[in-house]
Amino acid sequence: MTDVVIIGGGPGGYEAALVGAQLGGNVTLVERRGLGGSAVLTDVVPSKTLIATAEVMTSIRGAGNLGIHASGVTVDLGRVNERVLELALRQSADITSRLRGEGIRILDGTGRLDGTEAVVASTPDGEERLPADIILVATGARPRELPEARPDGERILNWTQMYSLRTLPERLIVVGSGVTGAEFASAYHALGVDVVLVSSRHQVLPGEDADAGRVLQQVFESSGMTILSRARAQAARRTGDGVVVTLSDGRTVEGSHVLVAVGAVPNTEELGLAEAGIALAPSGHITVDKVSRTSARGVYAAGDCTGVFALASVAAMQGRIAMWHALGDAVSPLDLRTVSANVFTAPEIATVGVGQAEVDARLVAARAVMLPLGSNARAKMQGLSDGFVKVFCLPTTGIIIGGVVVAPNAGELIHVLALAVASKITVDELAQAFTVYPSLSGSIAEAGRRLHGRDGETQTSI
Ligand SMILES: Cc1cc2nc3c(=O)[nH]c(=O)nc-3n(C[C@H](O)[C@H](O)[C@H](O)COP(=O)(O)OP(=O)(O)OC[C@H]3O[C@@H](n4cnc5c(N)ncnc54)[C@H](O)[C@@H]3O)c2cc1C
């Protein structure tokens, strides 16, 4: 039997463990905190559970336009966070029993490499040396800290600490307008908190489609959120019952709490990687190829510790690919062009494939069409106006290569475009499939019709 040892039990690690066991490996997984990893215990599951509550509040706030007067609705953040944490623990327990059921050995401890053919696990019962034919490192990442804004877990918080709040902050300063900052700002704003978003760029979500970022910025501002653009937070300190954030230009912002969401750093220290000859990027991420191989034979890596694409879905796929490759099963290299991603703000922003930035930089020749949500019949009925559907296709063949959806539930709507990109279908094929009338997905088919038979460069119709 092939001995497989996995360090880290997040999606990169536990999905790999399942494939390793399925393919007949003798799998041991070493995890120091709990199965599901940060994805389940502190990041994806808690944040999306909180956002589920925020979505209800967004609907209630928008209900006035539909003729419903819903006043006096309040949020019990203590109960919300209790539910969040219960759900995360339950999900972790479900994953643990699934892995145990598949015969995977789970070691509660901290793992490190002992060369390329063994892992040493430090457990509450002492050290155990685990000989390995194949090793997978899937140790994830943790919040980046600003030297002068260290979290205290009470008022200066990172995203893993937000669930200890029992009452709504009076004024929440969110530092960082990337995906995590934008999601928390959106959620807390929906819960009725006065939110100040400190953004180092001219527009929120600098890494996303610029049209989408513009819509979100406008929604945030028009609904009363304060956005400090081109402002860099340098320090945060506690005052009596609040916090003061100092910006690099000397300005100060006062609030009751501050969330620092300025990116993540990989958990790649103290793992014995350099000693085992495993190459790291200057950022500390483990260098991997498209089948998750590191520079050392027999050692693979997956997920946020590789810095490929910080998504649970990508971590899981990298982990599975590692096992398929290592254990001799059929394997296709990781194809980032087909990855769909979603920002869970209100409205959501979902993307797949080629984006506007690549088209504008002429890295890819494409035609594009953008249809505002306000022109969609169902959106009008639902009182929705902020958002759009954008589709990119190859100029001559009309093959769909990317798309953006900005709408409530965009994370669900993007699937049809993800399928189109993965299956390389054309705009005509997209347009020919029936959509329900009225439906938001009707705008996706309409985009296909608008792109029929036209040649030339990018065309965007608004
Ligand atoms: C707030 C937030 C929201 C997010 N929302 C989404 C989302 O909606 N959708 C999405 O796809 N992605 C989302 N992500 C990204 C997602 O959380 C990560 O991409 C995903 O967790 C990566 O999985 P992983 O397996 O690489 O690492 P992790 O989930 O971080 O798991 C790594 C595990 O390794 C363990 N570990 C580390 N070192 C050792 C060691 N030496 N020994 C033993 N164990 C060790 C850790 O304890 C941890 O449990 C979000 C991220 C954040 C911060």
Residue 260 CB–ligand 1 contact under 6 Å:
no
Query: How far is residue 77's CA from residue 162's CA, in Å, rounded to a whole number?
Result: 11
Q: In 223-311, which ranges are continuous DSSP H helix?
A: none
Query: How far is residue 403's CA from residue 392's CA, in Å, rounded to a whole number?
Result: 6
Mean per-residue pLDDT of the chain: 96
- Please give the span between the terminal C-alpha atoms of the chain, in angstroms, as a whole number: 60
**Nearest alpha carbon to residue 404 among 458, 451, 348, 449:** 348
444 Cα–ligand 1 center, Å? 32
Query: If DSSP codes are grouped into helix, strand and coil, which group holds residue 450?
Result: helix
**Nearest alpha carbon to residue 170 among 250, 91, 245, 242:** 242
Query: How far is residue 228's CA from residue 246's CA, in Å, rounded to a whole number?
Result: 12
Residue 256 CB–ligand 1 contact under 6 Å:
no
Predicted confidence (pLDDT) at residue 134 exceeds the cutoff of 90: yes
Residue 139 CB–ligand 1 contact under 6 Å:
yes
Nearest CA to ligand 1 atom 49: 37
Token pair recorded at residue 3: 């001995």
Residue 163 CB–ligand 1 contact under 6 Å:
no
Q: Give the DSSP H/E element, type plus range, for residue 295.
A: none
Residue 16 CB–ligand 1 contact under 6 Å:
no
Q: Which residue has the higher pLDDT, 224 or 458?
A: 224
* Cβ neighbourhood burial of 437 (10 Å; 0-12, 13-18, 19+): exposed
Q: Are strands 194-198 and 171-175 parallel, antiparallel or unpaired?
A: parallel
SS (H, E, C) 56-111: HHHHHHHHHHHCCCCCCCCCCHHHHHHHHHHHHHHHHHHHHHHHHHCCCEEEECEE
Q: What's the pLDDT score for residue 462?
A: 36
The sheet with strand 118-123 has its strands ordered as 110-113, 118-123, 126-131
454: confidence class by pLDDT, cuts 50, 70, 90: low
Predicted confidence (pLDDT) at residue 459 exceeds the cutoff of 60: no
Q: What's the pLDDT score for residue 453?
A: 79
* Cα Rg, the chain, nearest whole Å: 23
Nearest CA to ligand 1 atom 1: 43
- Out of 311, 334, 343, 352, mutate this one to test ligand 1's pocket (max ligand atoms within 8 Å of CB): namely 311
Q: What's the pLDDT score for residue 461?
A: 41
Predicted confidence (pLDDT) at residue 15 exceeds the cutoff of 60: yes
Nearest CA to ligand 1 atom 51: 43
Query: How far is residue 344's CA from residue 411's CA, in Å, rounded to a whole number?
Result: 8
240: confidence class by pLDDT, cuts 50, 70, 90: confident
- Using the atom order of ligand 1, give the atom closest to the CA of residue 35: 49
**Nearest alpha carbon to residue 356 among 450, 462, 458:** 458
Q: What's the pLDDT score for residue 460?
A: 47
339: confidence class by pLDDT, cuts 50, 70, 90: very high
3: confidence class by pLDDT, cuts 50, 70, 90: very high
What would the mean pLDDT of 145-150 be, rounded to a whole number? 97
Predicted confidence (pLDDT) at residue 116 exceeds the cutoff of 80: yes
Residue-wise pLDDT for 247-273, tens only, equals 999 999 999 999 999 999 999 999 999
- Out of 30, 33, 43, 205, mutate this one to test ligand 1's pocket (max ligand atoms within 8 Å of CB): namely 43
pLDDT > 90 in the chain, percent: 97
From residue 346, alpha-carbon distances to 117, 212, 217 in Å are: 48, 12, 11
Residue 48 CB–ligand 1 contact under 6 Å:
yes
Residue-wise pLDDT for 351-410, tens only, equals 999 999 999 999 999 999 999 999 999 999 999 999 999 999 999 999 999 999 999 999
* Phi/psi of residue 431, nearest 5 degrees: -70, -30
Residue 44 CB–ligand 1 contact under 6 Å:
yes
442 Cα–ligand 1 center, Å? 35
71: confidence class by pLDDT, cuts 50, 70, 90: confident
The sheet with strand 171-175 has its strands ordered as 156-157, 257-260, 171-175, 194-198, 226-228
Residue with tokens 């796929």: 317
Token pair recorded at residue 54: 């925020």
Query: How far is residue 322's CA from residue 333's CA, in Å, rounded to a whole number?
Result: 10
Q: Are strands 388-393 and 156-157 parallel, antiparallel or unpaired?
A: unpaired
44 Cα–ligand 1 center, Å? 8
Q: What's the pLDDT score for residue 455?
A: 56
Query: E strands within 88-215?
Result: 105-108, 110-113, 118-123, 126-131, 134-137, 141-143, 156-157, 171-175, 194-198
What would the mean pLDDT of 7-32 be, rounded to a whole number? 98
**Nearest alpha carbon to residue 166 among 44, 71, 61, 257:** 257
Residue-wise pLDDT for 77-102, tens only, equals 999 999 999 999 999 999 999 999 99
Query: How far is residue 461's CA from residue 372's CA, in Å, rounded to a whole number?
Result: 9
If phi > 0 it is left, if psi is from -120 to 50 it is alpha, else beta; for residue 155 that is alpha
200: confidence class by pLDDT, cuts 50, 70, 90: very high
